[in-house]
Each structure stands twice: as C-alpha cells, then as structure tokens.
Chain A
C-alpha cells in the first residue's frame, strides 16, 4: 500500500499509535500472562515465584485468586503474601470459590495475582468470564499477573480441538495476548510433564479425568508445545516489529493485506472466523467480517439470528471490523463490499452439502469465485462436526404450523370434490387450473412449504381421480406426465415467488418501522430543550418502537459514579441488583446486563449513553422476548437510539453550559458595576460626614454658630443619602436573589399615592405637585409597601431631574384591566437611545448639577413592577419632560 521509501521514516501515524498505546499502558494496569501448553507445566508456580521477586523489590503484591491445588511447593510460595478471601457462590448444592472482584478493586494493590485467565465464573458473578474481571482490574490501574494455557485462546482452540479431539469450552479473546505487556512462556519438556502426571503432581479433576487423560498424550503435548512456542515467538516478532516501525529500522514489511470473511450463522461460521483470524495474524492483515441480509433470507435469518449475532461478536472480539449489509444477493454484496474496502483476500467456507443440492442451486462459493475478479479467494473446507457443546442448540428451520399443512390438504380435497358434486363435465385442463388456484392460495396464505405440498398432492389427486385409468395412479397416456410436471413446476415457482414477495414485504415493513421510529425519535429529540423533554421523547418513541419497557438513568448527584432513575416506564422497578448493573455500565461505558457478556443475569439490558465528551447516563431496556436481547436487529436499533439520545443530552448539556457562561458573564459585569458604584457611592457621603464631624469635634470652638449648623446639615444630608443607597443596594440584592416576596392585598390607589407623598413630604416642600385620579378606581391587588417604594423612587427621580419650580404630576387611571400609574415631570426629558436602558442596573443618565443617584432606583422599580406582572417604561412628553408609566394588572 505504502511505497517503500515511506517506510524509511516512522510514519506519523505509527508514532502516534505507539505513543497512544504507551499512554494507554500508563493509564491501565499492565497485564503479564504466564503462558503454558498444558496443565501441570508450572504456571502458577512460576507466577508466584516472579511475584515473590516483586514483593522482595518492595512492590505491593496481593494474591487476589490463586489456586494451589494442594501442591505444597506452591502453597509455600503463597506464605507471607497478602491473600484476599475468595467469594463463595452456591451453585447446585456446591459452593464455588471465585475471585472477589469488588474486594480486589477496593484493596487496589499495585499488583494482583489472578490465576486461570480462561476460567468461567459461577452464575451470579458480575462477569461471565474471569478475563472480564481481569479487564476491569486493569482498567482500574491495577497490574495483573495471570496464567493460561495456549488451548484457551480463541484462535487456537479450533486447532487444539482438531489435534486432541477434546472440545475446548473455556476460551479467551486473542486480543488479551496482544494486550499483555509481557508474555512469559512456562515450558517443560513433555516427558517431564508426563512423569509429573504419573507421580500425581498434576491436578486432575475427577469428573474430567477421562478427557484429560486422552488429552495428555505425548503427540498432543508436542503439538500443543509447538503451538505455545509459536504464539510466543509471533508475539516477540510483533514486539520487534513495533520497535522497528517506531524507530525507522528498515525491514521486510509485508504488503498490507485485507481479508474479508462472511458470517452466515451456519455451524461452520465460527470456525471460518477463527481461521480467518489466524490467516490475518500470519499476514499481519486487517480483516473484516460482514453479514449479508437479503430479503429472501430474511426468514431464515430470523431463525438463526442468535447465532449470526454471536458470530459477529466473536469476530469483533477477535479484532475484525464488523458490518451488516442489506442487499438482494449475497455474492454480489460481498464482492461489492470487498472492492470498496480494497480487500485482497476473501475467505469462504465450503460446507459439505449433498451433490444434488449443488445441482439445484449453485453454492454461494461458486458464485463468489465467478465474481471475485482479482481478489484471491480462500476456500476453507470443514469436516461435518457436531456444533460445539455449550452453545445454543441448532435451531431447526421453521416448518410452520401443522394446521397450515392440514388446510392446504383440505384445499386440494375441495378442488378434487368440486366436479363430483357440481360440475361433472369439467375438462381436465380446467381441473388443473383449480389445483393451481389452490397452490397460489396456499402460497399466499401459508408460505412456501405448504404450497409445495399442495402442488404435490394436487398432482397426485389429478392423477388418481381424473386421469384415465381413474381411481389409480397408473397413467395410460404418457402425455399427462408433461401435465404433471408442468403443474408441479408451476406450483413450485408460484409458491417460491409468493413466499419471497411476502418475506420481502415483511422485511421492508420491519425496516420501515425501524427507520420510522428512529426518525420520530430524532425529530422529537431535535426539539428537546431540556433533559425532561429528552426523557419524554425517549419514553414515547423507543418504548413504542420496540414494545419495550425503559428506564433512563442519570448520574446521581449525591453519589459519585452511581446512577439514579430519571424516568421509567410504568410498572418498571429496578432493585438494588439491577441498579448495580446500571452503575457498572455507567462507570465502564460498556453495555451490561441481559444479552451481554457482563452481568447477564440482570433483567434488563443497560446501554451507556455517552459521547466523546462525557457519559450522560444509562438506558435500561426490558424487551418483551428473551431472544430479542440477542437479536442484532434490536441491538442495532437500540445502539442507534442510544447514540441519538447521547447526542441530544450532550446538546442540552452544552446549551446549559453556554447559558451558564452567559449568566456568569452578565454577573461579572454586574459585579464590576456594583463594585464601582459601592466604592464611589459609599465613600462620597462618608467623606462629607467624617469631614464635617471631625471639624465640629476638633475645632468646635473656633467655628461660628451658622457654620456649625451648615456642617451638620451637610453631614445629615449625606448620611441620609448613604442610608438610601444602602437600602437600594439591599433591595437590589433581594430582587436579584429572588427573595423579594410579593405580599398582595387590595390597595386603594389614592392611599398609595398619599403614602408616597407623605414619605417625600420634606423634599416636596413647596413643589407644585398635582394628583389626577380617575373616577371609581378599583382596589388594586399589590404589595403596598413595595409599590409605595416604586412611587417614591419615581417621584424622587422626577424631583431630581427637573427644575425646583417646575410642576410634577401624578396620575392614575384604568386601561382595560390594567392600572396606569404615571409620574410626569417638566425636566429635560431623556434622549431616545437612553429611554430603554434607563431601567437597567447601574445605568446612569447624565446627572444635572446637584442631583445624585445610585443608578439603582429605577432598576429596583422595574424589578418590583415586574414581580407584580406589570411593566414600567418612560416616554418623552410633548412640550418637554418625561412621563414614566407603571402598568399593573388590577387582578394578578
């Protein structure tokens, strides 16, 4: 792919990959695997020996789970080492000892020893497999030493089964071997191992002893040893390659290969996938696994979807890129995908099918080879073998309900009976039409197989009842054989076509439903502006589309790394165990629960809702049928839903952050203004007060009586001003903090105006103030104290901004169901551009000589009036002056 000269320097991608891998190693714990080729080679012993060295070096080592199998030498090594108690799980009357994962996570040692990587956990454990426990330990930053035999690696298990004839049930993904920081090969010669076995030094479980003895044959051991040595060598090779690649050491780089394998859910798919993985490893190639869904196969796929899903997940865990495509033909789709992804080799299986079936329909393999062009095709053949035990049993192809067949037969009987009952002279040709009709009906109604049966019985009935000699299957006129053949073939074709059309329509309908539900969800999510509306959209759309019960769980603000239910379908409750599974999915950003590998005993499936930025919560899903949890259809749809929900949650989160930033900015600018105002407006009066008082205190004797009086008057006025300012500040703070409680009661507007004027009595002195009250003003619901303050502020403003001899008018009238309260002055008015801003906080108009304000009075008025659901605004008066209007609802 890359020209050779590009390889002279490490490519940036390679550097980045190496750096990222290193970083990941830093963050995660490091995994050391002690690899053996059979039980009894001394893996646990080697692990403990190495661990003791680490302990001697001063590292914190804890034996989280070590199985000594009663060997003294091994137990001696465990002495003096901190050992965690094992968790006990009762299972079918036996108590099973397992790794206590939570205890290990809580203990959080530097290095944990966990024996037997490939172990399958007892039911009730968090994970199905021990390697998943170890993954979690690593993710928590704990280094892990573990032991495993070569036959347990997924890609090796097939070979081992072939070599030894013993099926391997406990497998671990090969990626663990690649992920391990170090792989230590524990090796002894097979003779020595056999001798140890004879001496009884190797632990052999009683119930499996027969199989194990079969396993421990010299030939097997040699082959397994070679396998282990080769895997280790390949790994060393790999390390070397990484080293050379990052340091620009020229080497014999292979041309990049890309492999493609097609998963079809057949019993051989799994082996095919493992074979491809081996090939890909040897070629250091990227590989893909695709699953082609065709309308024709849709029904079959329904039946074996569990296995297809399992295959795809296996491929993914082995490192393949997995895709599902929908296309009318399998070979065409595979070749198309291969060409688009520059695939160089195709791996296909050659199932052993009877020859005659190949004649009827050429196997897919042949068609692929014909279409493949320049792509190499590897055909892997398999011996027919029973499906591996322990997996879900092979699902028999659906044969439909027996009533379908019965009704089909009844149709044939009816058609046969018609001429006998009603129409004695019907010609044989038309009688055939009757049978054809029955075939079509059966095809439409019941599908392919009942239709074929109908065709078959139709032919037989026609022969028996209508073709001479009648009442016998013998045919006198051989020409009728053509009729028979024609009738049967037409029946076959029609039924196949009908069945296909029906399935296609069904597949389309399903697809359409899914698309539709996704569309509705995304449409509803697009307009969701807060978490509540997101939750509502999810509950409505996802619940309906999948006929599922849902719970959306969001981070619990009171407990870190825990989730709480934000919304749930009616009747769905989650107990502590379910919540623990949800917590796990949330913490680890991985699906958990029903239908997954982790904590599968849970009732619900938990999908984490996360984006690149953060995890927003968990979607808990309870599907109607157990099988649905394993269905790729459902999972794909759920994954799509989860992705949509995550994005919507992220959007809401970002919007909220932006809003917060805006609020913060506004608050900061307000605080700046406040600080300016406070430092100026608090100090200025103090200057006068302190100055006046100090001169009265110190030089009282030398001052003349009128001068003293003047000074006192100044100090008093300023103290008054300070008092007002502090009051305003307090009011503003209360308004801002939302602490201002409106205490509504019916108020007489005249009384309100009177109170305000009484308060301002001293200032009004001999101002010409006129009050214009409309007739029959009703009592208005308002907070008298606060509204008095508003009026005082407005009148005070009017007084300040207008000449001492100019008149001031206060008016109250009704406008519909609103009270208009006006204060009018004959001052200079306000420039238009200031009119709308004058009610803002700390906004000061150019102040005429002698008038001083805090810039708060009007904004307090605005706050109070708005708290009464009213508005306040100012307009310039014709003929000069300003008119400030409060518009209050009479009834709140």
Chain B
C-alpha cells in the first residue's frame, strides 16, 4: 500500500488538497488495515486450531473447522469490542 505517502506528497506539491478527499482516503485505508489485521490474526488462530498435521489437501473436516472457527473468532471479536466499549463508558462516567 503506497497510496498514503504518494497521494499526500502529490497533494502538497500540486497546491491545496481537499480535506474531504484526504479524510475519505484515510478512512478507506484505516478500514483496509483493520480488515488485514483481522484476516491475519484469524488465519493464524484458525490454522492453529484446525490444522493438526498439514496433509496433502485441506480436507473436508478441516474446512468445516475453519469455517466454524472464523464465525467464532468474529463472535469473540465482537464480544471483546462490546466489553471494552462498555468498560470505557463506565470509566468515563466515573471521571
């Protein structure tokens, strides 16, 4: 991903860049980075859970395990996010 650096510098040399455009680009890049982060961690965790001994193919039971693991990882992610968020709310209310 070389978008940020090149876009930013080209905006600087070619006059003022619309802040709205920058914000949109930043938002997209953050979303992409977060998706990649999730994908990477999920792949690592589900590989560990589901592939005991890597065989010559990804067999049916392994595929089923990975599919289930992905769903549970998303559940876990959402539970963690919700818990952390409500904890932050509570601490903000206490201040």
The answer to whether A and B come from one shared complex is no
